[in-house]
Structure 1
């Protein structure tokens, strides 16, 4: 069963129809409640009743025929099915209840049925649609599939080839983003909030939530719910959410876990749109709690209501139009453009407090708790569409769906920076968390690869995350890696120059040392010259007080210099594009501060030069990512995925799983068009390339050199499928390994030779990615390229695993 979100933000369930009496009766009821016109469009003739035999035949066996149903409030509101018309073709058809048409259900059913049919081995789908059925024709035409249409007068016959295509992926992603954002609207922009479990005891947690809502001056209507109190904190209370004389957008539940189920029942009876459960005592404690959590989720999903939590510390929105603080944060943070999500509730509140101390303004915040329903992926899609948010900060403990996370962030980070701190980087962290399990600690290099591919800025600590955010919050980001240093002492400059090298930034020109005399005037005079130097992309200003402090004067001198250059650029019709990053040592605290320049620009001051350099380096890396071309999923025109897949399915036969022999694998790679030039015999190095199926991250590609001691521990990881840019980057990395090994063995550079081999390697990685994408039966593959025992080219270990793809690999159960 899978949660799907409709175009209007409502939540529904999508799953395979079951051949039971109860299920058949529910589907029969769908037909009975559907208008004669819709039935005519579905069956091409007037029909009064659909018998059980017809319904059962639609369900099929999941291979030659499959039916999916969409449920809303425990009612079947749509049915989609396909049936095989011959070995490679299946016909698809839909029926959507009249009141639910136009909400995207048809598009969802088509996408899921197409994926299921493809995994079952069908090459093509077809559909017959009456010409007057405009809505259904639009569903097919907007699907992203390339269709061939034929008209025979009254109907249209559509045929399209199955597979994972870029256009259909993108359209599905856009639909999901907009629907998900709509579904979270009641959490962040409610007009009415019911606080259930509100207490008159000022020391209770629920009373604190009430006070926070009132203190923040929530612009909507607040309804405390208490079984006996007539008012709490001067606000009229109601005995039950069902007694509230208004429709409730958001219910905040703060009652003990044992009483939550009854409260949820009341919320559903009252038609509440979204539920937030603060209470603990669910999957965060034991198996019984997990069962209760699942029961609550099932109830809410069947009613089309979204859930945030349980075991969370709330949400907030600082927008002047909302001013919502339904959290345990004692103070409303400064309004700003930074959204924050935290897997840890208590740590999330601390993060908010730190944001206020370092002057980072917040747009909205969510503590996700147990993430029974609303996930970090959902929040990312909401913030992607949120005009109030420019930067997103994440504190992550685990990944629920890394493949989806990767897809969303690859799109999102092109427009908005995403910074993440990922805990659980070592086995020792297992002993520090109640969420003990394999999902908590994972291969850290795999996570780093995911972040790199998606353009996510990874910070090693919360402090570093805010250091980077401080620079991103300014309107000017470095356009390159060329850095100038202006200082009043050489000690800090030496340390900074070393750090620049480690962070792969370049020091331009000798360090400008102003000495100790007339410091403010010196900074004011020198900085404009450096800022107007076309060979400099960013300026690092170091200040170490000696004797009486001139900190305020130096800060004002820096601001004056920036005002002068910015005004000059503006007068010339140009844009000021060079950031200034400062370090003032020994200021008495260790927080980022700012030098205000004007209402739109300020200079971050870091407590240590290393912090300043690291922040600058991460922003430069992010800028390089944003300026790079947008990669596309590899789709080679000469790669015949259908033929390759048919060959693999024949090799697999009736087996659920088998290992290919080397001869069979060589047939496979030759059929897929893999070619590589021979390597020079004198280069005694090999490179192993392995595709593996990871239970958390899906298909991974690992590449590492063999046979050279200096390469021990060196490897690269990428999540599949690769983009064309991923394939090129891997090719250059591997070519560099060969060149380096050759040079060390022979004492002369071989870079030029192996640089010419990059195109072959790029094609190799592209084909490998497309093989795994187009042939889901390939569950594992390992080959070695290089020289081995007198052989050149495909050598060493050659191994492949095949297995029948399960329906869980498709979006139906994603």
Structure 2
């Protein structure tokens, strides 16, 4: 892609001094800006801030560019960068002058070896080479000039777009709010990068140069563009792995330190050859030639002897050998590495560093990594079985995609799949998921026409916000069924690099619910639901019809159905064990023709334990003919069976899944019905209340943090805002704090009440008594000065027993708000989940009983409405026991504004609005408490190649 040119300082004729710290040195190297990214073609590369040591690499990058690209960048021919230019370009302050480079391992593009001539075995490790540069130079407090330059050999891979995303994120972090670039009119591809990024771009042409200007605040469109690019890139990277037709297996050699490693690769070789049936080419290095291994394997003494290109590599070696193997795999054109070996992050700090070094090499060579400790991958794409796994037998081909993490659980999961006779389209075991995760595989399944249903067994979730975004997109057209290790999702097995979390245990459940994910409790339930969704149409409703051999069985099914969220209509047909074939047919027909029935549960368990071929056949035919979602519990049938399979009117075979117990069948049916309702319901639009200015909020918070740092606050420490500062912050998003004044004594209280207007409320500022009218900490409807003086005296006496903070006035006087119900709105920035919003009605009962609703922004209007209605005490807002209905719309507006503030301001460590009084008309926020700290959000507005 031809580069954009920064007008000011582009050729070294001008530069900015830049902001420096008090010692006069540039800001510290921003290691947090380092990132591995997946490009549009599915390959990977690394982004990092430029360093002075990059001078030679930058000169080599510049010299390797075409004359046209150099002209587009500098508006003049420039064969080499002068020493002055080079020094200026690699010396930046990481604040006012910022530059990011995209780097890969290996020789520069102009000197790349022929694919037919890989480097010799004794070649030194490849050096980093620059393939793209993005930089900005600040021109005023809000604006910076931006420039890009992409290597000719790497244009068209989406590198400029991803550099723009990361540079914009860095700029926002440094307070830059607007980018300006000067581009030649003929540089249409670079102009397209700006316009297609989703920002509101303004263009002006003068003197033959196009000046492009756009604000950096994320918009719905820019976020959607980023998510779409991320989706396509990650889907392509996984497709390269799952559709590989040339596989290299790298073993530990003839005399391995651990014989198990040799047995692992032998199992992989056997599966690749026997199940690939000549359609998968298999190469092997370090795998012993054994008589019992199948023929058709191409053995090689060295990696350098393997003919190129190779699409996929499966590696089982000692951990300290894996890194060198990975270096050499990149030269073979490998797109993905399945690492069976363990001994990395789970082995302690040394292993974690080894894993990081491995990822740097893998991503620097454009590859993806599945593992460490992976069980392997399986795929039946387009009729070709790719079995690069440790499975004893490849599963039947089908249209189910399964993902799990640990290898031991993969064994049990695949065994259960075989027992049920389910067919798989793909199976991926990510092991400790150092790179490829469930998010990546879901991106692929969203594009794959051969997959209908997705099941995931997750031991940990490294990026819940991305998981929510990806899963919601996928669940909109394909069901996603998930089981996690523990209900809270906070179990972190060894080897899984996951941030700690302080979020409530229900947070993950809310993430799943918002995403439309079907969450189950165990692997048994996972496959119960998957087999139903894979073989039956989605339920059109929840009204249940029952076919049973006895009234007691029908009652048991009805009880389980009611508990599972189905509607028990009372439609039940009893079928005696000795019914004739015509009676069976008539009874089944009568049940399926009832217009009050949406779904059917058929239970047939004969007392003598003799299989009955008639009932399964008639149920299968009726279900296929009518399209009624059906589940069955029938003696001697389990999973997918021929007895319960019939063709629908289009000729497509439909199977009624069979379950071991009626409760299992009903539970799966309830999950399917809820998912169907979610998929057809209006999920709303992301909330964007008017009058929200997160940019102004960020400026306020930056100023408060700068003041705290100047006063000696510890780096990263949370800073509590004063009531005045909190009110200013809330005003930025259109939330008004009800006026109040903090006072020290009765005279000040009376003066405050005169200013605010009578009647007033008076309350203590002592945390233990705040909001506690029952303990005397709050007095309402104080109508005159005498009453106020008496109340102040009583509150001061009460507060004295609780050691008030001498720096805080002990009494607060506030104008009375209209009467209504008191609610609490909170948000907390969690290291793992990001912002977590909670809502509940105020009072000890709500907190002690956990009667709270949770949401993870960004929220839609439907999400906000559901949050307000979810607490058990919510009926008090809607006219409970004859009370007037309250202004729920105004309450939802406050909740929406808080969610936007929390989502757009990661520096907001915590915020509590308490109480928020909801009246018949309007709401009043009577108290607000906030803390802020430097941002450290795991998932921001940058694409990253990480779990």
TM-score over 0.5 (shorter chain): yes
CA contact 2:463–2:938 (8 Å) conserved in 1: no
The answer to whether residue 520 in structure 2 is matched with residue 489 in structure 1 is no
The answer to whether residue 88 in structure 2 is matched with residue 38 in structure 1 is no
- CA–CA distance in 1 between the matches of 2:592 and 2:735? 51
Shift of 1:548: 6.8
- CA–CA distance in 2 between the matches of 1:446 and 1:462? 21
What does residue 29 of structure 1 align with? 60
Question: Runs of 5+ in structure 1 lacking a partner?
Answer: 567-575
CA contact 1:398–1:440 (8 Å) conserved in 2: no
Question: Of the candidates 798, 801, 805, which is equivalent to residue 931 of structure 2?
Answer: 801
Shift of 1:809: 6.2
What are the residue-to-residue correspondences of 1:334-413 with 2, within 5 Å?
334-413=396-475
Shift of 1:613: 1.4
The answer to whether residue 790 in structure 2 is matched with residue 689 in structure 1 is no
What does residue 205 of structure 2 align with? 151
CA contact 1:742–1:749 (8 Å) conserved in 2: no
- CA–CA distance in 2 between the matches of 1:159 and 1:498? 64
What does residue 231 of structure 2 align with? 177
CA contact 2:823–2:917 (8 Å) conserved in 1: no
CA contact 2:914–2:925 (8 Å) conserved in 1: yes
With 125-134 and 514-523 compared, the bigger mean Cα shift is at 514-523
Shift of 1:304: 1.7
Shift of 1:694: 0.8
Shift of 1:591: 5.6
Q: Tell me: CA distance 1:376–1:429, structure 2 relative to 1, closer, same or farther (3 Å).
A: closer
Shift of 1:339: 0.9
Shift of 1:331: 0.5
Q: Tell me: CA distance 1:549–1:391, structure 2 relative to 1, closer, same or farther (3 Å).
A: same
Shift of 1:81: 0.8
- CA–CA distance in 2 between the matches of 1:462 and 1:799? 43
What does residue 574 of structure 2 align with? 513
Q: Tell me: CA distance 1:33–1:808, structure 2 relative to 1, closer, same or farther (3 Å).
A: farther
What does residue 395 of structure 2 align with? 333
What does residue 299 of structure 1 align with? 361
Q: Tell me: CA distance 1:14–1:695, structure 2 relative to 1, closer, same or farther (3 Å).
A: same
Q: Tell me: CA distance 1:441–1:664, structure 2 relative to 1, closer, same or farther (3 Å).
A: closer
Q: Tell me: CA distance 1:233–1:335, structure 2 relative to 1, closer, same or farther (3 Å).
A: closer
Q: Tell me: CA distance 1:433–1:13, structure 2 relative to 1, closer, same or farther (3 Å).
A: closer
The answer to whether residue 869 in structure 2 is matched with residue 727 in structure 1 is no
What are the residue-to-residue correspondences of 1:494-573 with 2, within 5 Å?
494-518=555-579, 520-547=581-608, 549=610, 551-562=612-623, 566=625
The answer to whether residue 684 in structure 2 is matched with residue 634 in structure 1 is no
CA contact 1:676–1:760 (8 Å) conserved in 2: no
Shift of 1:681: 7.2
Q: Tell me: CA distance 1:356–1:372, structure 2 relative to 1, closer, same or farther (3 Å).
A: same
What does residue 4 of structure 1 align with? 37
Shift of 1:679: 12
What does residue 569 of structure 1 align with? none
Aligned residues: 787
CA contact 2:501–2:832 (8 Å) conserved in 1: no
CA contact 1:333–1:353 (8 Å) conserved in 2: no
Per-residue CA shift, 1:384-413, capped at 9, x if unaligned? Answer: 222221111111111121111111111111
CA contact 1:343–1:368 (8 Å) conserved in 2: yes
Shift of 1:216: 0.7
Shift of 1:590: 6.8
Q: Tell me: CA distance 1:795–1:173, structure 2 relative to 1, closer, same or farther (3 Å).
A: closer
The answer to whether residue 104 in structure 2 is matched with residue 72 in structure 1 is yes
CA contact 1:596–1:602 (8 Å) conserved in 2: yes
- CA–CA distance in 2 between the matches of 1:349 and 1:440? 30
CA contact 2:835–2:903 (8 Å) conserved in 1: no
Question: Runs of 5+ in structure 2 lacking a partner?
Answer: 1-33, 106-127, 710-717, 739-814
> C-alpha root-mean-square deviation of aligned residues, in Å?
3.1
The answer to whether residue 506 in structure 2 is matched with residue 449 in structure 1 is no
What does residue 570 of structure 1 align with? none
The answer to whether residue 903 in structure 2 is matched with residue 766 in structure 1 is no
Shift of 1:648: 3.9
What are the residue-to-residue correspondences of 1:420-435 with 2, within 5 Å?
420-425=482-487
What does residue 158 of structure 2 align with? 104
The answer to whether residue 192 in structure 2 is matched with residue 138 in structure 1 is yes
- CA–CA distance in 1 between the matches of 2:817 and 2:555? 44
- CA–CA distance in 1 between the matches of 2:691 and 2:170? 25
What does residue 703 of structure 1 align with? 839
What does residue 223 of structure 1 align with? 283
Per-residue CA shift, 1:633-654, capped at 9, x if unaligned? Answer: 3223432333343344444444
The answer to whether residue 668 in structure 2 is matched with residue 668 in structure 1 is no
Q: Tell me: CA distance 1:242–1:622, structure 2 relative to 1, closer, same or farther (3 Å).
A: same
Per-residue CA shift, 1:202-224, capped at 9, x if unaligned? Answer: 99222222111222135121112
What does residue 264 of structure 2 align with? 205
- CA–CA distance in 2 between the matches of 1:324 and 1:604? 27
- CA–CA distance in 2 between the matches of 1:398 and 1:560? 42
With 697-706 and 191-200 compared, the bigger mean Cα shift is at 191-200
The answer to whether residue 211 in structure 2 is matched with residue 162 in structure 1 is no
- CA–CA distance in 2 between the matches of 1:519 and 1:444? 54
TM-score by length of 1: 0.90
Shift of 1:540: 1.9
TM-score by length of 2: 0.78
Q: Secondary structure at the match of 1:389?
A: coil
Q: Tell me: CA distance 1:172–1:809, structure 2 relative to 1, closer, same or farther (3 Å).
A: closer
Shift of 1:440: 9.6
Q: Tell me: CA distance 1:444–1:528, structure 2 relative to 1, closer, same or farther (3 Å).
A: farther
Q: Secondary structure at the match of 2:381?
A: coil
- CA–CA distance in 1 between the matches of 2:609 and 2:664? 25
- CA–CA distance in 1 between the matches of 2:905 and 2:83? 37
With 224-233 and 615-624 compared, the bigger mean Cα shift is at 224-233
What does residue 332 of structure 2 align with? 270
Q: Tell me: CA distance 1:474–1:749, structure 2 relative to 1, closer, same or farther (3 Å).
A: farther
The answer to whether residue 654 in structure 2 is matched with residue 595 in structure 1 is no
Per-residue CA shift, 1:723-755, capped at 9, x if unaligned? Answer: 222112113336x624348978xxx244x604x
